[in-house]
Structure 1
Amino acid sequence: MQALRFRLALWGWRSLSDLIFWVLVGLWPYRRNMVLVNMARCFPTRSEKELRQMVTGYFRHLADLIVEPFLIRKMPHGGLGSLVYYENTQLIDRLLQDKKSVMLMASHYGSWEYLLSLPLQTDCQVLAAYTPVSSKWLNAWLLRLRSRFGVVMVPKSEWYRKALGWEEGSPAIFVTIADQRPPESGKYYLNFMNRKTFIQSGAARIAVQRNCAVVYLDVTRTRRNTYHFRFRLITEQPGELGEAGIMEHYYKALETTIERQPELWLWSHNRWKFHSRQGQKPVNALKLL
């Protein structure tokens, strides 16, 4: 009976996602020009047909992304395996057994909301940063939704202090969406997806100061609304790589992930608000509309 209810709910949410998709591409073309420009510049060798297919795939994924938090909201703990699968959890277990906290570097790729089920895979505390919304009611509802599986949600303004002040004798997993755009052009930049990209290095800075093991979350979508999460070690000695080295390894790994299924990254985000225009060829996205 429970399985039947889930299948009915899945059908309902997917139907809503299909409706949202047609709204996004037809009635209200949400940031379509930005998506086109970002994809065209990051994949300069792709044909116009390929770019159109990628854009369509992105908006289908974006529509799914909107409803996916609701899919796991009522999902029984034992049924989560039908939506998300964790691979290489033994890496996390070994690091925690060695009394090493883990800086888990995720990204705006796939369904990062599914990652909030991580406490079901480990006995240690899992902490994640969030940005509060202005509505107190909505903020409280989102916190209940996101902490359902045991994640400790920490306001972004308190994240650095909370992470650095965590008890040394109690290893924890610090989940960070590390591909955030900095508020201004910052001191670190690198070549990412064929573009000069300014980056935030707060996750790496915390890892170095706390001597956390740094782990990258590799994500694959295996079928609609279903994701495969794989833990990949970047380093157990963050001091040896330093902030810049950790971020370079992270962005190289993320680039590989994106190239595998490009439609799953958040292309409508203005990731390259700060970049050098020197030598950059203009992209006429209007011809692709």
Structure 2
Amino acid sequence: MKSNPHPAGFAWIIYFLLYRVMRYRYTEVIQNLSRSFPEKSYGEIRRTAIDFYRHFSRLFAEMPLMMTMPRRHIGRRLTLHNASLIEDYQAQGRPVIVMLGHYGNWECLSMLPALLRCPVYGVFKPLSNRFFDRLMKRIRSRFGLQLLTMEEAPRYLLQRRLPPGAYVFVADQSPPQGKHVVDFLHQPTPVITGTERLAKAVDAAVVYAVIRRQEGYCWEMSFSLITDQPATEAPFEITRIFNARLEQDICQSPAYWLWTHRRWKKNLRS
């Protein structure tokens, strides 16, 4: 599908405002990149930062498309690789927990119900701004994605009378308390472990997902198995594998991760 010139022009305006005028969280972006890639020169870090702001701006420009795109165009915007991995477990009556990071375009999750032959639940953290929270809920639920908060998800999964489905967690959030720490992008990083505990409690297959940009405003979501025997995994092994795969994807294309996020609020080395 060819790129629409209007989103491209809108993306350039957003980029100009965020990067050139507002310098939106520029210090955090440079610091995060520098600490994550200590082997890179300042020039390389700055070029990656510019690429990130361009990518970030394009995500904003895609929001009107997400609000107006007809259902029949979803297959053009998003293609799935290895989707049968999820559908096979669903056919066996098992829930599937899908873990992904703030990489690529995680808002593509809203299109999954139109492409997968099973119920899809998106687990999100509510936004602090009420207007944007309502807007994002409207966009995310437009094609049938059922929204759950972090607090609601365990109750839904633990109620076994519900039909099996795919429960999608954006799992690179900062935990309220850093009880478990992994080495992630050369830094000790507190990570959430609730997704792993939930998978073990309900015997859910755990799948890693990554979303990569294709030509224009099109995306591909790929799935790979982390484990289908969560109870047999060592403590925090599922969490470790998820973060290792996410780190690998970030290192391949750094500009596509959310570098404005204050991921390392505290220096755990001190």
- Common topology (TM > 0.5): yes
Question: In 2, Cα distance between the equivalents of 1:133 and 1:40?
Answer: 28
- Which protein has the larger Cα radius of gyration, Structure 1 or Structure 2? 1
**Residue 46 of structure 1 pairs with residue 46 of structure 2:** no
2:108 maps to which residue?
Answer: 114
Alpha-carbon separation, structure 2, partners of 1:31 and 1:13: 23
1:283 corresponds in structure 2 to none
**Distance (Å, rounded) in 1 between the aligned partners of 2:166 and 2:259:** 27
Residue 179 of structure 1 deviates from its aligned partner by 0.4
Per-residue deviation, 1:174: 0.5
Structure 1 residues 242 and 171: alpha-carbon distance in aligned structure 2, compared to 1, 3 A threshold: farther
1: CA distance between counterparts of 2:256 and 2:61?
15
Per-residue deviation at 1:140? 4.1
Q: Corresponding residue for 2:172?
A: 179
Distance 1:132 1:46 in 2: 35
Q: 1:275 to 1:98 in 2, by over 3 A?
A: farther
Helix, strand or coil at the partner of 2:72 = helix
1:145 aligns with 2:145: no
Q: Is the 8 A contact 1:197 1:274 kept in 2?
A: no
CA distance in 2, matches of 1:139, 1:249: 31
**Distance (Å, rounded) in 1 between the aligned partners of 2:112 and 2:213:** 17
Aligned partner of residue 254 in structure 1, secondary structure: helix
Q: Does 1:61 align with 2:52?
A: no
1:156-202, CA deviations, whole angstroms, 9 ceiling, x for partnerless residues? 3322222322526x21110100000111222x111111111110111
Structure-1 residue corresponding to 2:264 = 272
* SS across alignment from 1:234: strand
Which whole-Å deviations, capped at 9, do the CAs of 1:24-68 have from their partners, x for residues lacking one? 111100111111111111111112221111000000011111122
Matched, 1:215 2:203: no
Contact 1:69 1:114 in 2 (8 A): no
Is the contact between residue 103 and residue 210 of structure 2 (CA under 8 Å) also seen in structure 1? no
| AA in 2 matched with 1:185 | G
CA pair 215-268 structure 1, distance change in 2 beyond 3 A: same
Root-mean-square deviation (CA), in Å?
2.0
CA distance in 2, matches of 1:221, 1:231: 15
Aligned to 1:204: 196
For residues 176 and 213 of structure 1, the distance between their equivalents in structure 2, rounded to whole angstroms, comes to 13
- Once the 2 structures are TM-superposed, how far is the Cα of residue 136 of structure 1 from its aligned partner? 6.0
The residue type paired with residue 166 of structure 2 is: I
Corresponding residue to 1:257 among 227, 249, 253? 249
Give the C-alpha shift of residue 133 in structure 1. 4.6
- Give the drift of 1:254: 0.3
Cα offset, 1:85, TM superposition? 1.3
Structure 1 range deviating more: 220-229 or 31-40: 220-229
Could you tell me which residue of structure 2 aligns to residue 100 of structure 1? 94
Alpha-carbon spacing, 1:157–1:90, altered in 2? closer, same or farther (3 Å)? closer
Rounded Cα–Cα distance in structure 1 between residues aligned with 2:59 and 2:12: 11
Asked if residue 238 in structure 1 is aligned to residue 238 in structure 2, the reply is no
Write the distance in 1 (CA, Å) between the matches of 2:226 and 2:126: 30
Match of 2:15 in 1: 21
The more displaced of 27-36 and 150-159 is 150-159
Q: 1:117 to 1:41 in 2, by over 3 A?
A: same
How many equivalent residue pairs?
Answer: 270
Confirm or deny: 8 A CA contact 2:102 2:170 kept in the other structure.
yes
Instruction: Report the secondary structure of 2:151's partner residue.
Output: helix
> Aligned pair 1:89/2:83, yes or no?
yes
What is the distance in 2 between the residues matched to 1:245 and 1:165?
25
Q: Which runs of 5+ in 2 are unaligned?
A: none
The letter for the 2-side match of 1:225 is Y
